Amino acid sequence: MQGALFALAFIAFCVLYLFLTFLIAIPYTGWAFVFGLAAGLLLVTFHAWLVLASHASSPLQRPADGYLGPRPGQSRRDLHDFAWPQYFVHQVWLDLFAIMNRANGDTLWLWRAAWRRIPPLRLPHQLVYRSRDGGADHVDRPLVALLGLPVLAIPGGFLVGLTLGGLFALVLLLAGGAFVTAFAWALGWLAIAVQRAAERWWRWAKRSTPCCAHCFFPAELPVYQCPNEHDATLPRQSDRHRDLRPGRLGVVYRRCGCDTRLPASRIRAGRTLRARCPKCDAPLPDGAGWATELRIGVFGAAGAGKTRLVEAAVRDLTMSKGGATVDHVTGNGGTPGVGSARATTLRIKRWRRPTLVHIFDAPGAALVDPARNSRYHYFDVAAGLLFVLDACSITQVRAQHATAPGHLTTGDRIASHDPEDSYQALVTALQRRGVETGGQRLAFVLTKGDLVAMLPAGQDLEPNSRSIRDWLRAQGLDNLVLSAERDFRTVRYFLGRAATTDESEVAAPLRWLLAREGVAL
């Protein structure tokens, strides 16, 4: 009798099981699966909004993570700039993985919560097995889940749909993120290439390469300083940006580690930021990298009157109607023993963009030594050269000057070095270093012309280029004149006077050189 009752109960359970499975579980499980797919898409979208809208914490690529400190000798100069990297350089992948981890964490939590909600089921002794630890008789959850399939199929279908929907959304998100990142990189590199080419053209066409007045280093890429003062909590010299160009730290603008927005362009940075020399860290004039910069190298023997000539010319130019302002900066010419060199900077502003004229006057004793004058880099990139020759250092004039009455001599120092060697020492060294002097202009200045005019040798000397040239050849300096006209594209001769009151005559050589460079004063 008990066996018949058990058989009837088993048949009734099977009928009910099939009824629930085909009439309830199968139809509604499909809808639960669909809702689960939608819920998975919404879950990933919600976490994407949380992460991208900064409402949830995610790892950040901070400026200090890639900052290597002030070591400008390294090849990757952008790694020595304390600034926030562009979003698509690294942060985009951190955000994508943060979204994936958060969505996966919520999905796993739902699966674990549903699994824990399935209670253990107690059955007759023949269907029960004893637990390993000797606990109470019970049926494990997999058997309960199998027996309760008609009821558990609906939430199970929802969880499966949720998982597949989340995976599909994550695949779409990763694929879309990779596509957008690749597109951003391609567009960014194109913009970087165009902007850097434009900057190179600007530097070449506008001649805007700065030159340090302390170490005479041509700084093609100056170091720009953040206008915001960095406190002691930030790394040392973190306000110095050594590679302020379009790159991984910014295409149009970059954000300093102190959250100050800076232009990612040397041209625009030169208009607003203070610049420093990348070699000696000396300050550069305002407008470095944006303004046109012309370098004029003054050379000649010691005692030829270079410094006096430059000072008089600067006084005339600053008092001219052009309204130029002058800033005197004196620095060391490289290493001890070379001697100090004076660098005078003229700021000439006629239009919106100024012109910086650097007049470099190095000591004559160092210039006549090829091993020492190589340290004066500005000669290699000078727009024009000015050679100063003491007329009294010429052999015939020196002899007449020595025997002249005392009232005809002023007691000024006379250059003792050979005139031709004082020219050849520097020009030959420049040509050996590969400098094309044939494309430059030379202003040949003969100083102390008024003293020579009172001597018999200077009776035929007139203050014009042709007369000065002929007079030099008549004094036996044919080789010097021919060498100068052979080495340079254009040579013009000027006469300097020791006691002249007309300073515009002294400034004529500089005016001529600047006019040929498009700066008329």
How would you classify the pairing of strands 240-241 and 223-225? antiparallel
Alpha-carbon distance of 87 to 85, in angstroms, equals 6
pLDDT value at position 133? 47
Over the range 45-77, which residues count as b (16 or more CB within 10 Å of their CB) and which as e? eebbebbeeeeeebeebebeebbeebeeeeeeb
Q: Is 15 left (phi over 0), alpha (psi -120 to 50) or beta?
A: alpha
pLDDT value at position 70? 56
φ, ψ (nearest 5 deg) of residue 267: -70, -50
Sheet holding 325-332, edge to edge: 325-332, 340-348, 355-361, 292-300, 384-390, 441-447, 490-495
Q: What is the DSSP string of 279-347?
A: TT-PBPPTTTTTSEEEEEEEEE-TTSSHHHHHHHHHHHHHTSTT--EEEEEEEE-SSTTS-EEEEEEEE
With a CB cutoff of 8 Å and minimum separation 6, the contacts of 167 are 40
Bridge partners of 138? 129
Q: Which CATH superfamily is domain 292-517 in?
A: P-loop containing nucleotide triphosphate hydrolases (3.40.50.300)
With a CB cutoff of 8 Å and minimum separation 6, the contacts of 77 are 221, 242, 243
pLDDT value at position 311? 83
pLDDT value at position 303? 82
**Residues 236 and 353 sit within 8 Å (Cβ to Cβ):** no
pLDDT value at position 202? 87
**Other CB atoms within 10 Å distance of the CB of residue 135:** 8
Residue whose C-alpha is closest to residue 322's, from 348, 287, 292, 359: 348
**Tens place of pLDDT per residue across the chain (521 aa):** 556 665 666 566 565 555 555 555 666 677 778 888 888 899 999 988 888 886 566 677 777 566 655 554 444 454 568 888 888 888 888 888 888 998 998 899 988 887 776 655 444 443 444 444 444 444 455 544 555 555 666 777 788 888 998 899 999 999 998 999 999 999 999 999 999 999 889 888 888 888 887 777 888 889 999 998 888 778 778 888 888 889 888 899 999 888 899 999 888 888 889 999 888 888 888 888 888 888 898 988 888 888 888 888 888 777 765 555 555 454 444 433 345 677 888 888 776 778 888 888 878 777 777 677 777 778 888 889 999 998 888 878 777 766 666 555 555 667 778 888 888 888 888 888 888 888 889 999 998 887 877 777 777 788 889 999 999 988 889 999 999 999 999 999 998 875 554 555 778 898 899 888 877 76
Alpha-carbon distance of 249 to 178, in angstroms, equals 20
Alpha-carbon distance of 338 to 43, in angstroms, equals 72
Alpha-carbon distance of 278 to 246, in angstroms, equals 18
**CA–CA–CA angle 36, 97, 52 (5° rounding):** 85
Residues of each domain in the chain carrying CATH 3.40.50.300: 292-517
3-class secondary structure, 47: helix
